[in-house]
């Protein structure tokens, strides 16, 4: 598809030299001077376009060439309109004069000319004048080929809605009503004279349009009506409906102040009368243009929904019916937001649609806008929405996690309506196991959405289970892969490579494990007992791309999780979370670097939590000591070990928590001392590397801190530190491979040793009272050291 030839073409286009280029320009100019433009001219224009487009930097065209191109914009041959428009779009904007453009040339503005004007619009005023011109052209009898007018107007609206004046809006509303509701229901001019299939019948019998299933249309024309040919207003019907939602969203939003001015203009229609009238569809002629459009839009959508019940003959039309259902529901939602009295008319229709579609998963994408409707208006209509949420949160993620479009739309629905959902369907937080299936299946595509959504899923009730679920997300990922494979592949693959994990998945004795991972709702338990077993069964999944990508997103999500949980958790819950962290640090799926990354996140947040609530350390001292007292942990989870030791040293004191006894300090001391002795007297076990200096210095510092709180421990530390100095004087040691590292360790040892020689100083240095750690230097006059220093300095300098 993309060949070497294409690559070299682009290179040539970029690297063409100036002289060659000028020759090309003049040749092209000559070719364009001829009345009947040749094939060569067309080809050259194509090449010119490539030369201009291939470059990021703009090239200047000679003015003569530019002029020729401008004149081609109004050429009767579309080929030249297209080419000149494409070329000129790649150059710098031309002024109105250069473009020979004046607002009077309404009918001469073909689609390609218009797109050039749009892309080169320099100011809002340019857009406004283009807008005004197009609307004027709609007012007069439409010339042929003005169907592009509505799209051009629509694109101006996207960028600059204020380009339309009140009058314009009124005019366009009236036109839209005409096209949407009153388009011809007779088949277009083509029908009587299309020739082809039709026998030469001279009868000019008007043939009515047909529905998609072949029956004759019984009501007004819509996009779901077919005919052999179409009239101009039927085309405008299609273009009008295509832009209807955007129009309503732009000009009919409740916050726009236009509603008041409209009723002022139509003084014969009282404000209260308007809402009564819209409740009955008959006398809509009395309504002002805006309200009339709303009413007609309503009728159009209702008709579409009916038409979608018919079975279309062609696949393309079936797909169109689905798109129309989505659009119709969205438009109904729009108009009901604007005029809530319409809800009573709309709801029966929407409810019936829900009833028809909710059993088929293939209609899932249509059910999302229906859910949006229920969310916005369900309360007003006093309708029970439970079945809707059960479907959206309970069924869709579980069975359609691998549909990228559904995932995108469902998560976007949640994101955009988060406040509303939290209010009206707060139970959605319980469905996080289901929602996380989207992430487990295709992390790169949806991780961005979860960065936004995860904080709202963190609640005090589900925090622990959520943490376990996040840690086992790669397992969920693997399970989803197995689930799909299991349904696709036959029970026994003849000669195929049997997956051990697939066998395990199908094995009844492991059913419970996998069913737990695949659960839809939280609340049936934080995690499973046989987690280690599960990890072993899924060991071969560790290099599956989906699982690897999923594992890469977990650290980020954990950071978000911990940042959110501190806001909702009390100390008891935080203590529980610390336990989970410690427990799970050795219970993770064995993917390369996964454990390390998770340990890093855990360490960071262990520190944060203990800093916020220092009494947690005393509270969980038993479990923390278990970790800190096991030498094997130094080698298997160095990062966590270091941080556990550090928090023990820092916060195991009576000033953090009055429950901290001397006995506790002593037992902690002894546990750490034992480990320090062990790792500094022997080589690391086979297969492990020497512990990083940070581990050893943390242990030493922790011991010193603990000793400073219980002074009879000081001699023991000092003895160890002096022994350490002696041993290391001998040269290298088996437990430290680097000379510089060893020097750093020894230096730290010496510092601590000298500090401990004065117990009182050691205590205030290593266990500072709170007012020192939460410094208020600038606020506290007594301790404002910098102020004092500055004062002294200025005194000494003034001499």
Partner 1 sequence: MVRCFLIHTVCPVGALSAGETRVLYSRVFGPDEALLSERHRERSPEERRLLQKEKILVVARKVLSAISLSREASGRLLIEHAPGEEALVSQDADSGVVRLRSGHPFSEEMSALWLGVQSLGFSLVCEPHENLLLAEGTLRNLTRHCLEELHMLGQGSEVLLKSSRIDVLLSRLLPHGQLLFLNHRFAQSLEKEVAAYMAK
Binding residues for partner 1 restricted to 545-584, rule: CB under 8 A: 545-546, 549
Residue of 178, 233, 306, 409 interacting with partner 1 (CB under 8 A)? 409
Smallest distance, partner 1 to C-beta of residue 351, A: 22
Distance CA(422)–CA(414), nearest Å, equals 10
Q: How many CA atoms lie within 13 A of 646 on its CB side?
A: 18
Place of tokens 């040539």: 12
Smallest distance, partner 1 to C-beta of residue 539, A: 19
Place of tokens 């961005």: 448
Closer of 118 and 171 to partner 1 (Cβ) = 118
Is residue 227 at the binding interface for partner 1, with CB under 8 A as the rule?
A: yes
Residue of 71, 119, 422, 590 interacting with partner 1 (CB under 8 A)? 119
Place of tokens 């004759």: 216
> What's the CA angle centered on 30, arms 29 and 32, to 5 degrees?
65
Asked whether 300 and 181 are in contact (CB, 8 A), the reply is yes
Residue of 25, 28, 41, 49 interacting with partner 1 (CB under 8 A)? 49
Residues paired with 186 in a beta bridge = 208
Please give the residues from 513 up to 552 whose contact with partner 1 meets the rule CB under 8 A: 545-546, 549
Closer of 228 and 278 to partner 1 (Cβ) = 228
Three-state secondary structure call for residue 216: strand
User: How many residues does this entry show for the chain?
Assistant: 799
Asked whether 708 and 756 are in contact (CB, 8 A), the reply is yes
Closer of 62 and 404 to partner 1 (Cβ) = 404
Residue of 15, 30, 33, 92 interacting with partner 1 (CB under 8 A)? 92
Residue of 27, 30, 124, 757 interacting with partner 1 (CB under 8 A)? 124
Is residue 412 at the binding interface for partner 1, with CB under 8 A as the rule?
A: yes
Is residue 236 at the binding interface for partner 1, with CB under 8 A as the rule?
A: no
Please give the residues from 7 up to 36 whose contact with partner 1 meets the rule CB under 8 A: 7, 9-11
Smallest distance, partner 1 to C-beta of residue 393, A: 20
366: tokens are: 């249509």
Please give the residues from 371 up to 390 whose contact with partner 1 meets the rule CB under 8 A: none
The three state secondary structure string of 259-323 is HHHHHHHCCCCCHHHHHHHHHCCCCHHHCCHHHHHHHHHHHHHHHHHHHCCCCCCCHHHHHHHHH
Smallest distance, partner 1 to C-beta of residue 671, A: 46
Fill in the per-residue mask, 282 to 321: x = in contact with partner 1 (CB under 8 A), - = not in contact. --------------------------------x-xx-xx-
Three-state secondary structure call for residue 186: strand
What dihedral angle (degrees, nearest 10) is formed by the CA atoms of 410, 416, 418, 420?
A: -110
Please give the residues from 319 up to 378 whose contact with partner 1 meets the rule CB under 8 A: 319-320, 322-324, 326-327, 330, 365-366
Please give the residues from 146 up to 165 whose contact with partner 1 meets the rule CB under 8 A: 147-148, 150-152, 154-156, 158-160
Distance CA(259)–CA(514), nearest Å, equals 57
Smallest distance, partner 1 to C-beta of residue 426, A: 25
What is the separation, in whole angstroms, between the first and last Cα of the chain? Answer: 84
Q: Which stretch in 42-50, 373-381, 618-626, 660-668 sits in contact with partner 1 by CB under 8 A?
A: 42-50
Closer of 121 and 581 to partner 1 (Cβ) = 121
Asked whether 568 and 609 are in contact (CB, 8 A), the reply is no
Closer of 446 and 668 to partner 1 (Cβ) = 446
Residue of 228, 231, 278, 483 interacting with partner 1 (CB under 8 A)? 228
Residue of 35, 56, 141, 797 interacting with partner 1 (CB under 8 A)? 56
Q: How many CA atoms lie within 13 A of 716 on its CB side?
A: 19
Residue of 21, 99, 207, 238 interacting with partner 1 (CB under 8 A)? 238
Please give the residues from 184 up to 223 whose contact with partner 1 meets the rule CB under 8 A: 212, 223
Closer of 239 and 641 to partner 1 (Cβ) = 239
Question: 736 φ, ψ to 5°?
Answer: -145, 120
Closer of 153 and 699 to partner 1 (Cβ) = 153
Is residue 614 at the binding interface for partner 1, with CB under 8 A as the rule?
A: no
Distance CA(71)–CA(88), nearest Å, equals 11
Is residue 83 at the binding interface for partner 1, with CB under 8 A as the rule?
A: yes
Smallest distance, partner 1 to C-beta of residue 57, A: 7
Q: Burial level of 35, CB count in 10 A (0-12/13-18/19+)?
A: exposed
Distance CA(319)–CA(80), nearest Å, equals 35
Please give the residues from 440 up to 469 whose contact with partner 1 meets the rule CB under 8 A: 442, 444-445, 448-449
Closer of 3 and 726 to partner 1 (Cβ) = 3
Residue by residue, DSSP assigns 223-272 as TT-B-SS--HHHHHHHHHHHHHHHHHHHH--TTSTHHHHHHHHSTTS-HH
Is residue 86 at the binding interface for partner 1, with CB under 8 A as the rule?
A: yes
Q: Which stretch in 234-242, 487-495, 688-696, 716-724 sits in contact with partner 1 by CB under 8 A?
A: 234-242
363: tokens are: 């209609």
CA-wise closest residue to 305 among 264, 237, 366, 386:
366
Is residue 507 at the binding interface for partner 1, with CB under 8 A as the rule?
A: no
Closer of 156 and 617 to partner 1 (Cβ) = 156
Smallest distance, partner 1 to C-beta of residue 664, A: 50
Please give the residues from 167 up to 186 whose contact with partner 1 meets the rule CB under 8 A: none
Closer of 360 and 780 to partner 1 (Cβ) = 360
Q: Give CA separation, 221 vs 218, 327, 570, 618, in Å.
A: 9, 17, 62, 77
Smallest distance, partner 1 to C-beta of residue 475, A: 16
Question: 186 φ, ψ to 5°?
Answer: -105, 145
The three state secondary structure string of 740-760 is HHHHHHHHHHHHHHHHHCCHH
Q: Give CA separation, 435 vs 395, 408, 447, 462, in Å.
A: 10, 12, 12, 14
Residue of 33, 38, 58, 507 interacting with partner 1 (CB under 8 A)? 58
Smallest distance, partner 1 to C-beta of residue 414, A: 13
């Amino acid at each position: 598809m993309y060949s070497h030839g294409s690559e070299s073409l682009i290179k040539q286009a970029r690297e063409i030299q100036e002289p060659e280029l000028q020759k090309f320009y003049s040749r092209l100019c000559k070719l364009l001077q001829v009345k009947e433009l040749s094939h060569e001219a067309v080809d050259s224009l194509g090449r010119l376009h490539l030369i201009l487009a291939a470059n990021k930097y703009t090239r200047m065209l000679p003015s003569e060439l530019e002029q020729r191109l401008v004149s081609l914009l109004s050429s009767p041959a579309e080929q030249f309109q297209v080419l000149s428009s494409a070329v000129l779009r790649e150059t710098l904007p031309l002024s109105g004069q250069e473009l020979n453009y004046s607002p009077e040339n309404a009918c001469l503005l073909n689609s390609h000319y218009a797109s050039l004007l749009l892309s080169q619009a320099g100011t809002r005023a340019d857009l406004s004048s283009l807008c005004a011109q197009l609307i004027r052209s709609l007012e007069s009898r439409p010339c042929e080929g003005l169907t592009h007018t509505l799209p051009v107007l629509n694109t101006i609206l996207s960028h600059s809605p204020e380009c339309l004046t009140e009058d314009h809006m009124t005019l366009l509303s009236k036109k839209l009503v005409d096209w949407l509701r009153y388009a011809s229901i007779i088949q277009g001019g083509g029908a009587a004279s299309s020739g082809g299939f039709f026998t030469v019948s001279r009868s000019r019998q008007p043939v009515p349009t047909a529905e998609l299933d072949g029956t004759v249309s019984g009501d007004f024309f819509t996009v779901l009506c077919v005919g052999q040919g179409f009239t101009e207003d039927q085309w405008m019907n299609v273009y009008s409906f295509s832009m209807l939602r955007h129009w309503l969203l732009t000009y009919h939003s409740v916050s726009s102040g236009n509603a008041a001015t409209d009723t002022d203009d139509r003084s014969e229609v009282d404000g209260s009368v308007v809402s009564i009238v819209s409740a009955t569809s008959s006398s809509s002629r009395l309504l002002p243009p805006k309200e009339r459009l709303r009413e007609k839009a309503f009728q159009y959508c209702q008709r579409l929904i009916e038409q979608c019940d018919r079975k279309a003959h062609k696949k393309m039309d079936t797909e169109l019916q689905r798109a129309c259902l989505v659009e119709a529901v969205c438009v109904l939602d729009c108009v009901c937001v604007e005029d809530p009295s319409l809800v009573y008319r709309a709801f029966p229709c929407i409810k019936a649609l829900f009833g028809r579609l909710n059993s088929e998963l293939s209609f899932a994408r249509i059910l999302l806008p229906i859910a949006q409707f229920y969310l916005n208006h369900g309360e007003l209509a006093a309708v029970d929405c439970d079945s809707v949420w059960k479907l959206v949160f309970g069924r869709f993620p579980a069975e359609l996690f691998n549909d990228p479009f559904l995932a995108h739309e469902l998560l976007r629905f949640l994101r955009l309506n988060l406040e509303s959902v939290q209010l009206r369907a707060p139970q959605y937080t319980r469905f996080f196991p289901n929602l996380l299936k989207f992430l487990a299946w295709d992390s790169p595509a949806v991780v961005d959405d979860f960065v936004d959504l995860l904080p709202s899923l963190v609640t005090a009730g589900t925090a622990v289970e959520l943490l376990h679920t996040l840690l086992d997300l790669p397992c969920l990922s693997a399970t989803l892969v197995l689930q799909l494979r299991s349904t696709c592949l036959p029970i026994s693959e003849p000669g195929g490579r049997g997956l051990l994990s697939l066998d395990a998945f199908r094995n009844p004795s492991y059913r419970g494990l996998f069913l737990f991972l695949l659960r839809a709702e939280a609340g049936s338990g934080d995690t499973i007992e046989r987690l280690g077993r599960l990890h072993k069964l899924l060991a071969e999944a560790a290099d599956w791309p989906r699982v690897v990508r999923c594992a890469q997103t977990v650290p980020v999500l954990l950071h978000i999780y911990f940042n959110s949980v501190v806001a909702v958790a009390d100390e008891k819950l935080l203590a529980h979370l610390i336990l989970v962290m410690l427990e799970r640090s050795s219970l993770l799926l064995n993917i390369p670097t996964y454990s390390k990354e998770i340990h890093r996140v855990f360490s960071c947040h262990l520190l944060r939590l203990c800093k916020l609530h220092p009494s947690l350390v005393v509270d969980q001292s038993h479990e923390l000591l278990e970790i800190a007292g096991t030498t094997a942990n130094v080698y298997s989870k160095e990062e966590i070990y270091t941080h556990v030791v550090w928090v023990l040293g820092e916060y195991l004191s009576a000033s953090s928590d009055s429950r901290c006894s001397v006995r506790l300090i002593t037992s902690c001391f002894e546990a750490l001392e034992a480990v320090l002795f062990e790792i500094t007297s022997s080589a690391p076990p086979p297969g492990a590397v020497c512990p990083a200096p940070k581990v050893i210095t943390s242990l030493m510092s922790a011991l010193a801190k603990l000793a400073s709180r219980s002074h009879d421990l000081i001699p023991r530390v000092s003895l160890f530190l002096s022994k350490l100095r002696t041993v290391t004087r001998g040269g290298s040691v088996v437990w430290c491979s680097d000379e510089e590292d060893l020097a750093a360790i020894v230096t730290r040892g010496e510092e601590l040793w000298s500090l401990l020689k004065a117990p009182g100083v050691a205590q205030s240095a290593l266990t500072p009272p709170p007012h020192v750690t939460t410094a208020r230097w600038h606020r506290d006059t007594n301790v404002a050291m910098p102020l004092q220093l500055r004062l002294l300095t200025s005194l000494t300098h003034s001499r």
